[in-house]
Copies of this chain bind each other. A is one copy, B any other.
Amino acid sequence: MAEVRARCEEEKLRLTPARECVLNALLEAHRAMTAYELLDRLRDEGLPHQPPVAYRALDFLVEHGFAHRIERLSAFVACTHGSDHHAAAFLVCRGCRTVAESKLPAPIRGIEETMSRESFTVERLVVEAEGLCAACAEAGTDTP
């Protein structure tokens, strides 16, 4: 959080109350949260809590690399790697919705050939592995 504040100072970004509240919630949760869960948090903090408030804060956080959207969950997590808008892969537990973030250093074999064959311009790459984390696999969340 201190890191984030520093980066905002440095890059002249405005970390307004709603944005800070949303980021704090994500940092504390250590798991993916939906926009509406974040709205609840905003309400608890006495901040305005109509849907656009959360979505605007999330747009800001995602745009500047402080958070990521998890497509599989229609939900959001705090970024666990400092650097700006990097490509990443996510391990998404369907049991507890925790998300582990892994840097994505290498291009993905199999996709580049199709890309070049179709001359497709990639702007964003989504890589999400859905499954069970160690704790949920142990607990048998799949076959209760």
Taking CB atoms, residues of chain B closer than 8 Å to A134 are: 118-120
A102-B111, A110-B102, A114-B100 as given contacts; A132 in contact with B126, CB under 8 Å: no
A104 within 8 A of B: yes
Number of copies: 2
Taking CB atoms, residues of chain B closer than 8 Å to A91 are: 111, 114-115, 118, 120, 122
Could you tell me how many residues of chain A have their Cβ less than 8 Å away from some Cβ of chain B? 37
A139 within 8 A of B: no
Taking CB atoms, residues of chain B closer than 8 Å to A129 are: 111, 115, 120, 122, 124-126
Q: Which of A96-144 contact B (CB under 8 A)?
A: 100, 102-106, 108-111, 113-115, 118-134, 137
- Inter-chain contact B137/A130, CB cutoff 8 Å: no
- Inter-chain contact A102/B114, CB cutoff 8 Å: yes
Listed in ascending order, the chain A residues whose CB lies under 8 Å from chain B are 71-72, 89, 91, 93-94, 100, 102-106, 108-111, 113-115, 118-134, 137
